[in-house]
Amino acid sequence: MPRKTIKDNLRKNTNLCIFCCRKIPSDSPCCETCSFMLKIQPHEQKLSNGCPCISALRYEGQYRTAILKYKSGGQFKIIHKSYSLVLNRTISKLYDNIEFDYYTGVPTYKKFFHFDQVTPLAKETARLRNSEFKPLLCQSKKKKTQHLLDSAGRESNVKNIFKCLDENDVKGKTILLFDDVVTTGSTLTECSNELLRNGAAKVYCVTVNW
Ligand SMILES: [Zn+2]
C-alpha cells in the first residue's frame, strides 16, 4: 500500500484519547487507561433568549485540561473525532427526537490566524449523525478573549459581531449550533439571536463543556 494511503487510513480509523492523546480505535473518545475519567452526564440549560443548550462535560478538572489542549490546536488536530463521539452521545440522549435542517458552528474571525476548533467538531458530528453541516454565520470583527472578561464585558464584547451569511439558508430552518464551551452563554445567545432575526424557526445549541 502506498505510504500516503496507509497514513490516510490511520487518520480515518484512529482517534486520539481526549485525556492523554494516545492513539485509540475510532469508536472511542478515550483510551482504556483514561476511561475511568470520562463520565458523560449531559446537562441542559436555557440561554437568556430561551434557546435550549446542552453540554456533555463539566468545564473543570480533567475535562478543562483536556479541552484547553484541544483548543491550543496544531498537533491535536484529529482529536475532534473523539469529541464528536462525546457530542453524538449527548445529542442522542437529549435531542434525539428533533429533526435538524443544518448543523453549524459559532464562527471565528477569519482575518487573524486562529485555530477553528468548532467547525471540525460540528462537521464530524454531522457526519456521524447523517446530517448536513453548513456555515451559516461569520464574525465581522475581532473580539477580545471572552474568558478574561466579566459577565457584562462578555456580553458587550460579542454584541452584534456575528452576521448571517445568507438568510435563504436560515429562513424556516431548525438549526443545531455548536460551540466548544458555554460559560455565560453570551456568544451562543448572540449567534442564535442573529439566526432567529434572519428567520430561523428554532435554534438549539450544543457544547462540549459547561
Ligand atoms: Zn488516555
The architecture CATH gives domain 37-209: 3-Layer(aba) Sandwich (3.40)
Domain boundaries, the chain: 37-209
pLDDT interval class at 14 (50, 70, 90): confident
pLDDT per position as a tens digit, 131-166: 999 999 999 887 777 778 888 888 888 888 999 999
Cα(83) to centroid(ligand 1), Å: 13
Is residue 177's pLDDT more than 70? Answer: yes
pLDDT score, position 48: 96
Q: DSSP letters of 150-193? A: -HHHHHHHHTT-EEES-HHHHTT-EEEEEEEE-SS-HHHHHHHH
Cα(91) to centroid(ligand 1), Å: 23
pLDDT per position as a tens digit, 52-105: 999 999 999 999 999 988 887 655 667 889 999 999 999 999 999 999 999 999
pLDDT score, position 159: 87
Cα(22) to centroid(ligand 1), Å: 6
